[in-house]
Structures are given as structure tokens and as C-alpha cells.
Structure 1
Amino acid sequence: MPGERKHGGHGRHDHGGGHGSTVKTSKRPSSSGKKRTTTQEDKEAELIASVQSVNESNENSRENEEMVARENLKNNVSTNESENIDSGNDREKVAEDEKTETEVGHSSPEVQIKDEGAENRWAEKSKEEEGFNIRSFNDNILEFTEIFDSDRYRHVDENYPVEDLVSVVADISRTIEEFKQQTQNSQQQLEGLRMKMKQVKENIQFSVSRKAFDIRTDDDLQSIEERELTEKLAKLNAEIAKANSDLSEALRLSAETESTAVRAQIAAERAKEEAKRIEEEVEWRAQQEERRKREEAKKMEELRRQREEEARKEEEEKKAKDAEWKRREATGAERTAEWENWPAHELQLSSSGGLACIIRGKPNSFDESSVTCKEIDQLDIELTYGPQEELVGTIIKLVPTSEKLKLQSPIYVAIPFTISRASGHSREAFVRADVNGEWREIPSTEVTYDNHKDLKFVQVELKDCLTLAVMTRLKRDYVTFSKRPSKMASSCDHRITLTVCRDTFYRKEHILLQVQPVDSATVHDLQARNGNCKHLLASSPILLVQWESTELHKPIVVTIPCPPNPAKARKIAQMRRIKEEKMKNPQKVIPVPMDLREKEENAGKQNKAKPKKKTLQEQLAEINAPPEEEKPKPTKWYMGDYAHNDDDENDLLYLLARTGTGKWSVVPEVEIVQVKLDLLQFTLERPFEQFMVLRVRTNTEEDSLPVMSTAIHDLLQKRFVQAVIKQRSDNSFDTRLELAPINRVTKLLKRMNEDGFEDGPEPSQIIGVCEGDIIEINFRGNIQNSSSDKCPRFVFNSNVPSFLEFYLSEVDQYLQRNFSVFRGVVELYRTYYVTADKKAVTRKEAVVDENSFCVRREKKKTLLCEIPITIPKYHVEPSPVPLQAPVVIRNDSDPVNDDLMRHLAADMGDEWRKVAMTLNISRARIQAILRNTQISDSTDEDARYHMLITWLKKMPKSIDKVTVLTNAFMKNGRPDLAEQVRIKDEAFRRNITQTV
């Protein structure tokens, strides 16, 4: 037994010495210092090596765990042996306890060595017993941290090492899993150790207590043994407390290690997620870059196509312009064309039966039955209108009779059109054709036919069947300038000229000139409509010039007409009228005798100052001079405006030009010379596409001039019309609506009366629309369109009849019961499209904006006017006349009876409503009386009688009716009726007295 106990102590001593020997183990130098001098590749290699060393340490840790388990088993065996000591051998137990105390005393240095080397044993083991090294693990963590701090993994780009990152993250995860497993094993072993130590403590306490109880039986040895046992117990408690503190520290370290492992695992998971996110971000950026490259390539391809299309269009326009120039310059020199001898085939419109077109074709290759003509509704197509363009004919479509039929040779189609004489002076006709969905102008010429002298025709050459529309525009003048000096005159007005000096252009310059007339009626209308144009006196025509050059090497002299100042024009006209009257009625010269002539000469010689002969202006001033008391006051100035004088002969002239953005501006430093009364001349230093001259008052501010020019330009774009709605006389539901210019409304009303549309409201107020605007009709009130199309539409054209016929009906037959007709309102809306100016969009914006390749058209809708209209109630039976119960007055004790009511109703006038209000009769009852009078055959006298009866029925018998009625008549200005009531009352009272 003692040998075994000693053997057990020696084992513990050997075990402690074994642990203490770990203090002498040399520590492995840290690798963090080496990382400062190694390259990135060395770091990755050392990281892989450290991961392998950790794996090897995990294998060695298993052997250490087995050794710890064997030592725990030996300790348990020795503990059990100590518990089985015989309680009778007390002295031997005391000796053994003293020996144990000695062994404990000898082992205390080992415990100290163990405590001192606990951290080192926990930190690392010898190379022979190395399993898991915590310092190596920490060094590996530092290495991983330094790897992620490198620029290779921090900056994400296209060359990001995703695969290397994945492998590093996998190594980190594996290392953390091993560390976590080792930590769990250590915690389990520490828990087992603590349980064993607890059992040892309980056994020792039980043994000591039992022996202390046995020792107390001996009185001699009780005190000494008790003190010895107490001392041993205190020492054992101290050792156990120290062991418990070491165990608690080990558990704390284990918990910290476990938390570190958990944090490391969380960091690894986050690193995995970050790596995955970085990989997805790199992939997404790659996709975005690829998509951007595809879109950029597509955009560049679209831009290239657009440029090619623009170049092609410019080339086509150039060719067409050259051909047009040649054709225009060769006009009048053409020989007799071959097609004039071909037979002419007339095609009729199927709807109206009028002439659609005249076709000439080669006799052997074209037949009249090979082509048919069809009328096209303008709402079914998208016909585009340019500035100042008008539709003057029916839109027709040539359709071959057979799909396989093709024109073997060109045909010549002449389309009739209508144009007024005033418009024909400044406008010309041309043809637009629908070519592959795009409306283009095709070459055309005006022709005449002997059998249709009342019509004008425009002829085109076609090689295929197309949709054609005849339109008019401002006359164009095509001129080619060279280096030589030349002069160009407008065919619209020969007073408009452009004089070019030598070397103004270095190459041939094609110029296209158009003239937009501005008459005095337009100026007067503008002065009446726009308050900003009250200082405008006159305006020249607007010149539209298309230049090929962007600059002029020498100035161009422009001559343009402009009406004179109205005050000066009136004065000159009056002077001419006086001169003409003098020429028509010359004064008779009476011969003077010689003696009287001599006397006059002598008297003249005596006068020193002879009076001057008065000029024609002075004579005109004397004639127009008012009497002395009626002479006007001198002109007063107030805030830059004239006080009351409008006849100012002074004025100012300004040249205004329109830029590419569509804004008008004053051209500075331009000297405008008045060559004649209505003719101006100035020089152009640079080419302007649109320009005009304004004559204004001297007190006009320069900032208001662009506003005037814009107002004139906008006014010329509009057409002022009136909407006329008429209903058929025999059927008021059949309605026609037509828009016509204000100067044609009278003729339109006459024509509509001839067609049977005589009833209906008056024409609407003057409204402004543009050519090609879509007019949409809406209905409001108890009126609607009976057809399926609830909002009928039509297109306005000033030269083509713009009308619409529809059939009206009521919305609800039970509404508006108080009226004899159904009432409603017809609303006219203007629908138009606004297209952005091409010149306003720069090339830079066209490249940036993807949608700038196609021209966007914005649809707008504005209300023009509202016209009230009614339809009769033919299908609704009128309400029957209400039967009124007869009123019988049975009171004979009052002078107010039926005879008096009849007499007063006959004598009253329009004041009966005021009398009714005085008699406290409600407005509703008055309205009911009036309604019953309208729907029946009653008269106004019956209405007044019913009013008096209503008052009489609600009056109590005790009220003095005579006084009430008399006061009502006196209050409303009828004392005569009040006197009649008073006389009637006196007569009634007198008769009663006589009877009594």
C-alpha cells in the first residue's frame, strides 16, 4: 500500500516534471517579421506552409490527448486507493499523511514550475510532441490578414485573382475548423479534469472528517491530532483552491479561444460572402461593360446609318435642285413635247362624280382600263405640311386593275386644282407623292386643256402608281450666281432685287428666293389684336432665301418695298387730289386794264418787302387749317408716347432677321435708305435665311421689335375662320358643320340655305387655325352624336371644303322636362402636332440622346369655341295640362270677391310679380303659375288672377283683406287700384247699412 501510494506520487512527480520540461523548449520565431521583407509570392507560399503545419499539429494533438487520458486514469486509480485505507491504522495513516505532506511539499516547486510554464505549454509544445500550435495559428491569421491587406485583393478590376481568393478562403476555413475542433476537445478534457478534482476534494473532506471523529475519542491525542488535521485540511483546501483557480483560468482561456474561433469562423464566412459578392460584381461589371459596348456599337451603327441617310438625302436634294434649276432656267425654251400628241383619258371620282385626273400614256403600251382612280380621305393618311403650304385639290390614288400589271412606259397625270386669283399672284402649285410611306415632292409643271378652260392642272410624270396630292406654296425663284456681277429680281414682285458685286462668291452659288407678302390689312389686324404692335406703322414682305455659302465676301445690295408712313401717305394723296381738282377746274384769268396794271406796279415798287409765293404744302395747310377756336393743342410728350396726336410723319426703319433657333432679332448697324416713297435699299453683310423691314414710330423701344416680327410671322401662319352649324329645315336632327374663312361666310350661308340647311345657331366667333389641323368635335349637355363615332373629326383646308355632317340625338329624354327642346353645346377642338426644329438640335445632343435619331412629334389639343344648339322633342309626348279645381268664393260678408279679383287681374300689368312678393306668395308658386300658363292656352290675365286667388285662399277670415290689398298696391306704385278696392269696400259697407 505505501509503495503503491509512493509509486502514484512519483508518477505525479514525473508527470509534473514532464510538463515542466516544456519550459525549456525553444520558442519558434514568429514569421510576422519575415513578412516585411518577402514578396507577395513568398507570403502566399508561407501561408500554404503554415496551413500544412497546422494540419500536422492536429495529427500530433491526438497523441497528446491519449497521454493526458492515461495520466488521468493513473490519478483516478491512486485516488481510489487512498479512499480504501483502513480506518483502524491511524498512526500509519498519520505517517502516510505526513509523507504525503512531504511529497506535496516537494511537489510544490513542480506546481510553481507548472504554473510558470502553463502559458508556454499552452502556447507551444516540443517538436517531437507537436500537435496543434496556437502561436502558429496566430501567425497564420496574421499572414492571412496581410494577404488581404495587399493591393492585389483590395483593388477590384478586370484582372482580379478570383481563383486565388477562393483557394485562400478555403484554407482559412479549413484552419478555423481544425482550431475549433481542438478547442472543443480541450474544453471537454478540462471539464473531465474539473469533475475528477471535485471528486478528489469530496473524498479527502469525507476521509478527514471521519478520522477527526475517530481521533476525538482519545482525550490525550485529541488536541494535537486535531491541530495537525486542521493544518493538513487547510493546506489541502489551499491546494484545491489554487487548482480550482488554475482550472477556472483554463476554462476562461478555453472560452476565449472558442469565442476567437467563432469570430474567426464568422470572419471566414464574411470573407466567403465578400469573395462571392466581389465575383458577382466583377461578373456584373463585365456584363455591363459588354452591354455598353454593344449599345455603343449599335448607337454608332445607327449614327452611321443616319449619316448615310442624310448624305443620301442631301445628294438626292442636290440632284433634284440641279435638275429643278436646269428646268427652271430652261423654262420657255422647250420644244413641243412628245406626250402632247398622245390621247388623254379622263378619270372620274366615284364619290362626287367630278374630274379626278387626266392621264396620257403611250398608245401601244397604255390603256384607259389598266388604271383606276380612288379618292383618299385625309384622315387615313399622314400628309405633312411645310411652312405656308396649302392643299388645293382632292387626294387621289392610282390603282392598277391587276396586281401583276406594271407600267411599261411612263405616264403623264394632270390633276386639277383650285386657286384664287389673289393667291395665284404669289403662290405656285406642286405635287407631293407617297413614296414608300414618305411624302416627297416630285417634278411637276402647270398645263391647260382646251376642253377644261375653267380649271387649272398640274402635271407629273409617273413610272408607277402612287398616291398624289396637289398643294401650293410661295413662288420660288431659282438663280445661279457666279463670280461675275449680276442682279436677281423676284417673279412675285419685280421691286424686290438682289444685286451681287464681282467676286462676292468664289464658286457657283445656287440661291432659292421666296417672298411672303405682308399687306396693310394684316398690319391693321395685328394692331387691333395685339397690344404690343400699336406702334407698328408698316411692314415689308418677308424674304426667305436659301444660301449654300455661310458667308459673303462682299455685301449684297437688297431692294425691298415697304408701305410709307400712313400720315405721309394721306397727306400726299390729299395733295394729289387737290392738284387733280385744279387741273380739272382751272381758274379763269381776267384781263386787267393797262392803267390799273401801272397803278399796281407803282404800288408794288413802293413796298419794300414783296410777299413770297406760297408753296403747295402751305396752301394745303391753309385749306386744312381749322378755325382759331378749334386749333389743336401742340403735341405733348408723356412717358415717351404722344398724348393725342397719331399723325406723325416721322418714323424709324429696322432690319430684323430670323436665326436658326426660330427667334427674330434686330440686325445692328444697317443703314436703310428710302429710295422712293415705298421702296427701301440696304446691304447684307452676311446671309440671313429670313429677314424683313419694319416701319415703326420714333418712340418705339427696340426690345419690342422682335415681338412685332414674331407676331407678324405667327399671324401669317394662321387662317381666321368661323364655324357654321346649320340644321336641315325638315329634319332638325340632321346637322352640318363647316369651317370657312371670314370673307366667305356669307357665301357659305347662302349655299347652305340652298341645300336645305336653314335652321341652327349663328356662326361662332372668329377663331384661328392652321392648314392641315384636325378639328375634333365633342358634345356637352343633353346632346350627343347618334352614330358610333362619338367624336367625329375632319381636316381643315382653306381651299378645299372642310365640313362634316352628323345626326344629333338626346342623351336622356327625361332630362330638361321644363324646356320644350333638348339643349346642348357643340365643342370644337384643334388637334395638331408640334415638331422640334432640326437646327435647334446640335450634333452633340444627337450623339448623347438615343431618341434624337427619330424626329418626335408632340400632339396637342386646344379648345377653339363652343356653340349652343337645340333639337326638338318630337318623340316625347308633352306633359298634359294640369286640371285645376275651380275656386268658389262663398264669403258674402267681405267686398273681396271673385268679381273684384277678375277686375284687378285685368287692370294689373307687369308689376303683378312685385305685388305677389308683397303679398307673401312664394317664388316657387309664381314659377308654377308661369309654367302652367306656358303649357296651356291661358293668358297673362289668367296668371294674375291665379296669383290673387292663391293669396285669397291662404288669408284667414279675421284679417282685413281690403287693408292688406290696398297697402300692397300702394307699395308697388298702383294707387289707382288701391282706390278701386277702397271704393268697392265703401259701397259694400253702404249696402250692408241700408239692408239693416
Structure 2
Amino acid sequence: MEHEDQKLLQSSQTEQRDYNRKEETHGPRSCSKKDSNRAFQDIPECNEGDMIVCGRSKDICNRSVMHLSYQEELTVNEEPTAQMKYEDHKPTENSCEEAKDNKRDEIDEITRIHGLLSEKSGKIEPEVTCYITGPSITVEYLECRIINDMSSLVVEDSEELVSNIISVACFDSGNVISFPINIAIPYTARYRGNYRDIMVKVTDTNFQSSYLTPISFEGYQGHQKGTFAEVKSCQLGIFSVVSCLKKETFTVPTSGLSQKLSMDSRISLNYPPETFSSPVIMQLKVQPVEPSLISILKAKYDVYQSVVSTSPLVHIQHPSSQPFNKSVSVILPCPPNPEKKKQGDATEKGRASSATFTRVTSAHHLRAMSASVRKHRENISESLKLLGYRCKEEEWVVLDDVIVRTARNGLVSFEIDEYLESFIAIRLSFAMDNTHLVLFIRALEEAIHSTMANIILYRKTEYPDKIVVLLVPSKELKWDLQSLREEGYFGPPEPTQQFQLREGEQVHFRFIGNIFASDDGKTFGKAYRLIFHSQRKPKLELQLKEVDEFGNYSSPHYKGTAVFYKMTREAITKNWDQPLLPDDYQHQSPLCKLALTLPKHEKLINRPQSTKRICTDSTEALWDNLLYWLAEELSEDNASLLSLHLPIRRSTLQLVRLKSPDNLTQQIYELLCFWKKNLPRSADKQRLLSRYLRKSGRSDLAEELRFKWENKEFTWQRHLMNAAD
């Protein structure tokens, strides 16, 4: 069946390409109202549980909206009492009135909307995958699945995934698909901007991709309101919504053209007449360069200190077989040197002051003048360089023969007479050799396509064995930590140091030491992965468990380490269909590590009545009683002062806090028990503890402790009564 589905996908690509050439105006759709008592007689029945009809609501023009949850086989179980209303697949004007007058006995083409749902692990209710509108005979046999594990193979460097990866296929090989169909995919995009656009990416079985422009973004799909990317498609396959660089297409006639880009009006290209011997279609993309990226590169490498600013990175496509008959003038924005602007402001301020006050010549003034002259000489060496990427050489080159001039208001202009796949202008404060310029643009390209990220591993406060692992962009780390704390997750450990990741790269991790984890509560010791997408935050909920319950015997915690490894997209492409094994990472250097602890559980031993232990030492029982009484009486400030006087190590204090993070009384009690345990048997514990209480400002408790000790007075606390029960 899969082989026939592949044939169906491949055969439909030709129809998709032909369809994409047509320009259609998508206006309001009219519909015809059919008899509500008519239903399909040829829909096969299915066993109970094959399909769940979650709900139905009426759309505009009485279109039926059904939410379907696919489990093993997708078939339709029609209830005898269910009534459905359909719309005509080929509506015409006044079709609603014609349907009332002309009721046909047979319905050839019917349009229906199906909300296809897919169940995700850990969620009680299934998630809406997409909405498909098309002929009912087609929609009924479509199967939709979420395949987010393949997202690394779908996205490219300049793209950002903003939706689930969904697969739409026909599970009945004998059914003929009637194209086109409308597919609406829910998505969430946090960052847009003038340079980016939302597109639907369609990938076939050979991982060849094409892009569809959505015909609508916001509104209702069925009874659900939200943000949807709706496209009209003539093929099935893998669909995803991506945020990609906006593409601008225009035709350069033989008479010439002066074109300003809509995404940034400061960028313009002027093609003189007869630049090309025949009309040429041009496609441009503009990648903005954040000043912070340049600052990061300058901080990492001293050799790039001369770089002041850059223009946006311009990507251009046109037939390279068409030679340039004339040079093309290009204008790009390239911010000026801010130090030069400050110097100009200072000069103007000095001129204004000299017009008011008499200038006094001194040695200090002469030194200032000489420094100003030196600065002026340095500014004279400021230069502009143009770098281009040539397809034939497949590398970046410095175009020394191209003169880049400074225009008004931070603009630069130059002329090119050859085909460059990409180009960028760089402003330098002083001379820089071409080798380092090429290295800089390579590093800048890598930084543009990368994002700084952190890994968070937090645990539930009330369930220390329940953890959550997130891979988040560094710029959103503060908000993600706050959100996790609101959900009841806290550290330690703290988040990792930030590191660079590209879109679609993966972080694999495993646990070593005396702790391992499971995502289903049954299988432990596996390796796990998080796929990085800058606008989607992968999240894993795991359960920790000790490997050896008798390990770490000298510690109140089991100890382990989470080790993280980075997997590039190139490595993922080679082994994407292979299962993850811990041994696969032995040859790699870890990206980072996080130390973990798991509290030990107190073992309850059920003994017969005849073998139960009976405490015969009344002194120990009295001390246990008095220490817990003190723990209840001391406040947090009193405990802090007392801990300064008690001969206890700092590591012991940290261990006590970790053992009972939310119970102050238990912390103080554990602290006093540690102190008493380290004393020799012959020590006068009451006298020593009374002295420490007086030093911490609680003389009243010191006297009461002495009285209780001398009179052997027990105070029945709640914890003792619970223990007795």
C-alpha cells in the first residue's frame, strides 16, 4: 500500500505544478444547501473504536464540520439518527436558491470539512492536526499523522518551523483523489518582521520540497478560531508551516528597470536599458544582520575589531547564462560609524563654545588637538568593502575592483557587472586583509543561522523523581524558568551554559551514574533527544529511578549525571531512521553535563510482633523529643544564628536544606541531630546546647531546656504521635 501511495504522491506533483501556474482570486465562496435527510449510503460501517466522532458544529453555508480521531483504521461509522448538511463542490451564483428549486436525487460532488485529530502521548484529549476541505469521497479516505520526529529533515537554515509536521496520505489505494483540496494547518509564530513570510512547505517521499502561499491566515476552521495557514494543494505528502525569508520576484525587461524592494525600500537595484539581451526573471531574498551578532564575533576574535557594520545579506537568483551587458547599480543600507558621529557632535559643540568664550591655549589643549588629529587620520583610513559569493567558485571573494561609495543617510552604492549569488557590504574602521574578511563573512553566516540556547532540567517539588527537560532559546530563558516555577518545577540543577544550535539540530542525552530515566515508566536506560526549533520549545517529561538501590551508601541521595550531545543535521540525515543507542555517543565530546540527585526512600520493614525493636535507652528518646521541641520553637532567624555557633560544616547545612527544602522545622531538627551525632558520649550535651542558645539570643529556651532535661520531661510532638500510629 505504501508503494502505491508513493506513486500517487509522485503523480500528483505534475498536477500541482500546473495548478500553481494559475492565478486565482480567492473570494467568498457560495454554497448550495442540500437536503439534510440525505446521507451517504455507500460509506462502509466500521467496528466500534475505529473512529471517534468528537463533535460537530455548523459552519458558514451549513458546511458540516467533523472532528475525527484516527486510531488503527480510518473508516466512518454513520449513526442512523445523524443528520448532515453538505455544500455543492461546484457552487455558482444564487446556488442557494437553485438548490431549493432543483433537488437532485444523486449527489456527484460534495464538499466537506474534516478536522483531523491525532493523539499525542501524555495528553488526554487529542490535538487538532489540520482541517481538510474537499470532495467528501476524497476526504473520507485521507489519513493524517503528526511526525515531528522528522522535522530535522524538513527545515533548512533560513527557515523556522512554526507548526507540527503532518503527513497526509490516502489509506485506500483504490480510491482516486479529486484535487485540489484545501488544507488548513494551525501554527504559532512569535517573530515575523518585514523580511520574513509564512509559507506552507510540501515535502514528497523523496524529500523534494515546494512552497505554497497561504490563501488565508486567521479565522474559523470548523468551530475553532485561531491562526491557520490554509493552502490549496494538488498533491499529498508532508506539510509544515515555516517562517522563511520573503522572496520578491520581478522581471527585468530589455528596456531596463529601477526596482525598490517592498521588504526594505532602502534597497534598490537599477538595471540600465539593454542590461540583458532578453527579459530576465529575478528573485531576491534579504537576510538582515543584527548588530549584536557583529559585537559577539568581535568579542570572540580580536582580528575582527576593524568591522564597524555591515549591510543586509542579499541573495539573488537569475539565469546565469544571461551575461551582463551593462553594470547594475545597487544601493544598500550600511550604518555609519557611531564613533564618527560622536566625534562630529563633539566638534559642533566645541565650535558653539568657541563662539561664546575666549579660547585659552594650554599644554592640555595642545595634547587634545594632537589626539584629535590622530583620530582624524584614523577616520581617513575608514573603508568599504564588497564581498560576493560566486557560484562557479563556490566560495566568498572580496571584490577589490568594485568601488563602494558612501551615499546619504547611511546608504552605500556600488556597481556590479557579474552574477553573484549573494553579496554584502562591510564598513571597516581600518584596513583588514582579504583572508580575514572571508573568514568573517563565513563566521557571520554561521551566526545568522544559529541561535544561542540553554537546556533546563527541573524537577517537581512534591515528586523529586519527576523531571522535565527543555531546550529553549537563551533570550527566552528568564520567561521559561518563571513559567516552570509556576507549574511547580524547580532546580537544582541550574540551566546549562548557553551554546549555539542551528534550526533542526538535535540534542541527544543519556543518564550515567546511579540514576537513569524513563519516559513511559517502564523502559529505563534509553537515550533521548530534543529537536531544536527557535519558535518551538521541545519538552520531555521523564521519571528518574536509581540503578542500584544499595549504591551511594554514604550519601542520603542517589547520584547521577545527564550527559548531552549535539547532533548536526548532516549526521541526522545519514542515520535518521536508526534507533538511538547510548553507545553511539562514546566517540563524541559532550556538549554539557548536569549533575542530578535523587532522595533515598526510607524502607519500611514489616517485622513480626515478636521481633519488633524496642528502644530501651530512655535518654536517647528524651533527646530526640527535646531536639524536635527546640526545632518547633526556633524561628528562621534564630536557626540562622544558631547554625553560626554550632560546629557544623557548610556542606551539612546544604545537605539539610536539600533534604527538606520546604519544612523549616524538619531542617532545624536534622541540623541538631547532626550536631548531637558528632559529639562524644561523655559530652554534656545539655550544657553545650544551652550555651549556643544563649549566644544566639534565646536564653529563655536555654533555661527551659535545662528544666526539661533535669526533670526528664517529655513533650509529645505531632511527629512522635504519627510515628506511634
What's the TM-score, normalizing by structure 2? 0.62
Matched, 1:672 2:404: yes
Distance in 2, Cα, partners of 1:702 & 1:409: 54
Matched, 1:521 2:272: no
Change (3 A) 1:627 1:871: farther
Which residue is 1:727 aligned to? 459
Cα-to-partner distance string for 1:953-980 (whole Å, 9 max, x where unaligned): xxxxxxxxxxxxxxxxxxxxxxxxxxxx
1:746 alignment partner, SS class: helix
1:416 aligned to which of 148, 173, 186: 186
Change (3 A) 1:397 1:623: farther
Matched, 1:450 2:219: yes
2:134 aligned to which of 358, 361, 366: 361
Quick one: which amino acid aligns to residue 412 of structure 1?
Answer: N
Which residue is 1:393 aligned to? 163
TM alignment of 1:561-572, pairs within 5 A: 561-570=333-342
Which residue is 2:329 aligned to? 557
Which residue is 1:466 aligned to? 237
- Once the 2 structures are TM-superposed, how far is the Cα of residue 864 of structure 1 from its aligned partner? 1.9
Which residue is 1:783 aligned to? 515
Distance in 2, Cα, partners of 1:948 & 1:706: 76
TM alignment of 1:261-300, pairs within 5 A: none
Say which structure is richer in strand: 2
- Once the 2 structures are TM-superposed, how far is the Cα of residue 862 of structure 1 from its aligned partner? 5.4
User: Are 2:217 and 2:230, in contact at CA under 8 Å, matched by a contact in 1?
Assistant: no
TM alignment of 1:571-586, pairs within 5 A: none
Which residue is 2:504 aligned to? 772
1:383 alignment partner, SS class: helix
User: Are 1:654 and 1:693, in contact at CA under 8 Å, matched by a contact in 2?
Assistant: yes
User: Are 2:163 and 2:187, in contact at CA under 8 Å, matched by a contact in 1?
Assistant: yes
Matched, 1:546 2:546: no
Give the stretch that moved more between structures: 443-452 or 538-547: 443-452
Give the stretch that moved more between structures: 496-505 or 548-557: 548-557
Quick one: which amino acid aligns to residue 500 of structure 1?
Answer: Y
Cα-to-partner distance string for 1:590-637 (whole Å, 9 max, x where unaligned): xxxxxxxxxxxxxxxxxxxxxxxx966622799999998987955999
1:467 alignment partner, SS class: strand
Distance in 2, Cα, partners of 1:340 & 1:622: 82
With CA pairs under 8 Å and 6+ residues apart, which has the higher RCO, 1 or 2? 2
User: Are 2:202 and 2:212, in contact at CA under 8 Å, matched by a contact in 1?
Assistant: no
Matched, 1:428 2:189: no
1:347 aligned to which of 108, 111, 116: 116
Distance in 1, Cα, partners of 2:342 & 2:677: 66
Change (3 A) 1:812 1:659: farther
Cα-to-partner distance string for 1:786-812 (whole Å, 9 max, x where unaligned): 434511123111112212222222232
Which residue is 1:760 aligned to? 492
1:438 aligned to which of 207, 211, 224: 207
- Once the 2 structures are TM-superposed, how far is the Cα of residue 645 of structure 1 from its aligned partner? 11
Matched, 1:811 2:547: yes
Which residue is 2:389 aligned to? 658
Matched, 1:619 2:326: no
2:449 aligned to which of 702, 714, 717: 717
Distance in 2, Cα, partners of 1:780 & 1:623: 75
Change (3 A) 1:440 1:620: farther
Change (3 A) 1:558 1:455: farther
Cα-to-partner distance string for 1:526-547 (whole Å, 9 max, x where unaligned): 2223333222111111011112
Quick one: which amino acid aligns to residue 297 of structure 2?
Answer: L
Percent of paired sites with the same residue: 20
1:713 alignment partner, SS class: helix
Quick one: which amino acid aligns to residue 547 of structure 2?
Answer: V
Higher Rg of the two aligned structures: 1
Distance in 1, Cα, partners of 2:376 & 2:559: 51
Matched, 1:874 2:601: yes
- Once the 2 structures are TM-superposed, how far is the Cα of residue 718 of structure 1 from its aligned partner? 0.8
- Once the 2 structures are TM-superposed, how far is the Cα of residue 737 of structure 1 from its aligned partner? 0.7
Which residue is 1:507 aligned to? 278
Change (3 A) 1:947 1:775: farther
Change (3 A) 1:835 1:500: farther
Quick one: which amino acid aligns to residue 618 of structure 1?
Answer: R
Q: CA RMSD of the aligned region, Å?
A: 4.5
Distance in 2, Cα, partners of 1:814 & 1:405: 61
Change (3 A) 1:621 1:871: farther
- Once the 2 structures are TM-superposed, how far is the Cα of residue 458 of structure 1 from its aligned partner? 2.6
1:450 alignment partner, SS class: strand
Distance in 2, Cα, partners of 1:471 & 1:548: 27
User: Are 1:829 and 1:864, in contact at CA under 8 Å, matched by a contact in 2?
Assistant: yes
Quick one: which amino acid aligns to residue 356 of structure 1?
Answer: T
- Once the 2 structures are TM-superposed, how far is the Cα of residue 368 of structure 1 from its aligned partner? 5.8
User: Are 1:514 and 1:543, in contact at CA under 8 Å, matched by a contact in 2?
Assistant: yes
Give the stretch that moved more between structures: 937-946 or 704-713: 937-946
TM alignment of 1:912-923, pairs within 5 A: none
- Once the 2 structures are TM-superposed, how far is the Cα of residue 947 of structure 1 from its aligned partner? 12
User: Are 1:813 and 1:876, in contact at CA under 8 Å, matched by a contact in 2?
Assistant: no
Cα-to-partner distance string for 1:405-438 (whole Å, 9 max, x where unaligned): 33234211121222224x3421122333342333
Change (3 A) 1:446 1:715: farther
Distance in 2, Cα, partners of 1:632 & 1:742: 49
User: Are 1:430 and 1:441, in contact at CA under 8 Å, matched by a contact in 2?
Assistant: no
Change (3 A) 1:912 1:830: closer
Cα-to-partner distance string for 1:876-902 (whole Å, 9 max, x where unaligned): 689x9xx99x9xxxxxxxxxxxxxxxx
Quick one: which amino acid aligns to residue 177 of structure 2?
Answer: L
Count of matched residue positions in the alignment of Structure 1 and Structure 2: 518
2:303 alignment partner, SS class: helix
Distance in 2, Cα, partners of 1:382 & 1:615: 55
Give the stretch that moved more between structures: 457-466 or 753-762: 457-466
User: Are 1:565 and 1:651, in contact at CA under 8 Å, matched by a contact in 2?
Assistant: no
User: Are 2:19 and 2:234, in contact at CA under 8 Å, matched by a contact in 1?
Assistant: no
- Once the 2 structures are TM-superposed, how far is the Cα of residue 732 of structure 1 from its aligned partner? 1.2
User: Are 1:432 and 1:439, in contact at CA under 8 Å, matched by a contact in 2?
Assistant: no
- Once the 2 structures are TM-superposed, how far is the Cα of residue 486 of structure 1 from its aligned partner? 0.3
Distance in 2, Cα, partners of 1:472 & 1:482: 31
- Once the 2 structures are TM-superposed, how far is the Cα of residue 721 of structure 1 from its aligned partner? 0.7
What's the TM-score, normalizing by structure 1? 0.46
Change (3 A) 1:912 1:710: closer
Matched, 1:793 2:521: no
2:153 alignment partner, SS class: coil
TM alignment of 1:115-514, pairs within 5 A: 344-351=113-120, 353-362=126-135, 365-366=136-137, 369-379=140-150, 383-400=153-170, 402-421=172-191, 423-451=192-220, 455-514=226-285
1:747 aligned to which of 479, 489, 499: 479
TM alignment of 1:887-966, pairs within 5 A: 937-938=672-673, 943=678
Quick one: which amino acid aligns to residue 375 of structure 1?
Answer: I
1:719 alignment partner, SS class: strand
Quick one: which amino acid aligns to residue 530 of structure 1?
Answer: Y
Change (3 A) 1:672 1:863: same
